[in-house]
Structure 1
Amino acid sequence: MVATSGGKDATLALHRLRHDARFAEYQPIGLMTMFDANTGRSTAHHIRQNVLQAQADALGLELHILTLEDKRGHAYADYDDKVGQFYQELVQQGINHVMYGDIHLEDVKAYRDNLNQRHDVQGVYPLWGATTQQVTDEFLDLGYKTTIVAVDGTRLSSDYLGQIIDTQLLDNLPEGIDRCAEYGEYHTFCLDGPMFTKAVEIRQGELWTDGRNNYVDLLLR
């Protein structure tokens, strides 16, 4: 199972899972994405379900939606219970590995591993230990296309919303911004690339904010 929010890191991790000999023992069978019951959007990027469904279809994988209800600040109190229940269902089906697109945040990986261990699931981290330069270079060199859908307004201007990521944009990020946005500086949605049977055709809707983070609404053409 592939844990994803539809962005660049999970997409590149999935690419490695499918094409890198080091991960030949794994076969992705679906995408797992968290949604907010109150907004009907994905929790991290606030993307509509039909947009993520279009991406899943283009990747040839089933989309599994886990709906979270109990939001506390920027986290969800029911996350462990909902994810744990889903993992138990996976294990009953003989599925005991979950892929993540994490790169270098030790605390995030430790949290995932602790939750996984409680439910007899093992994490797979195709990008772990790479530098953010390596990740972005590989992603772009492979020909993937991704757009910025959210920014932390305390660190990046809303002018970045809707921009397609390329080397020039990354090289000119403000000082202190992680190239892969591992600290939540921005979030992306992957539109096209070598794994896609067709591009996800979107148009940009309204810009909005939750007070700290700024978003652009993606709509299918």
Structure 2
Amino acid sequence: MITAISWSGGKDSCMMLDKLVKSGHKAACLITTVPADINRTFGHGERIEAIQRQADALGIPLEFVSCTFETYTTDYVERLNVLKQKYELEAIAFGDLYLTEHREWGEKAVDEADISALYPLWMKEDEAFSALQTFIESGYKAAVIRVRDDKLSEDWLGRELDKSFLQDIAREKVCPMGEAGEYHTYVYDGPLFKQPILFEKVEVLQLETTKRLEIAF
């Protein structure tokens, strides 16, 4: 199927893309939502430049969807209809794992655009640890760029997703995959990347309920 990829820049969307490509789907474009007039993404608060560098490294066109909080769904559906015609889309894939309310929103929005909604990573909650292990063994490289203050300490920022991360996250009272936003990641290299993305870890910013690691290129 000709498929758009809902792209946050983190491990989940990367795992989804990898799985779809291996199963024969054509990744027509990456789709990332951004608040109107703000140079950050809705999903992780990452700079647009960081997402563009991923798209360039993957060799896949990137499409930004400008939304407001009040009109998010309407804006999304309108833009999706445009992209459907541009790329002859048959489906859009989401990286959600097990949060039913997220899937219900995606399926409803995509239904309005009259294409299919795919959830290649859909699993049971208790399968999250195994999913993280799969990612770590996949050859992709990612670093933690954001944590929730009530779930993880600042020490987690900048950590690589590796075997020690897997062991340590298992001791925390969080979803190993961070499905509830406990942490977010930035993927910068791996099998589908034509070249690694080089970046520096600059500073940690305290936001309202989270801490974010700023990176520069």
Structure-2-length-normalised TM-score? 0.91
Q: Given the alignment of the two structures, is residue 120 of structure 1 paired with residue 114 of structure 2, yes or no?
A: yes
Task: Determine the structure 2 residue equivalent to 1:14.
Answer: 17
Runs of 4+ in 1 over 6 A off after TM superposition: none
Determine the structure 2 residue equivalent to 1:81: 74
> Which of these residues, 173, 190, 196, is aligned with residue 193 of structure 1?
190
User: Can you give the 5+ residue segments of structure 1 that lack an aligned partner in the other structure?
Assistant: 71-75
Read off the aligned partner of 2:157 and give its amino acid letter: L
How far apart in 2 are the matches of 1:168 and 1:33? 30
Aligned-partner residue type, residue 77 of structure 1: E
Residue 11 of structure 1: SS of its match in structure 2?
helix
Matched, 1:167 2:163: yes
Residue in 2 that maps onto 1:52: 51
CA distance in 2, matches of 1:59, 1:19: 15
Deviations 1:77-102 (A, max 9, x none): 22111110112113334213001111
Deviation at residue 111 of structure 1 after TM alignment: 1.2
Between the two structures, name the one with larger relative contact order (CA 8 Å, sep ≥ 6). Answer: 1
Query: Does 2:161 correspond to 1:151?
Result: no
CA RMSD in angstroms comes to 1.4
Aligned residues: 210
Q: 2:44 corresponds to which letter in structure 1?
A: H
Displacement, 1:38?
Answer: 4.4
Shift of 1:121: 2.1
Of 45-54 and 85-94, the range deviating more from structure 2: 85-94
Unaligned runs of 5+ in 2: none
Relative to the length of structure 1, the TM-score reads 0.90
The separation in 1 between residues aligned to 2:83 and 2:39, in whole angstroms, is 24
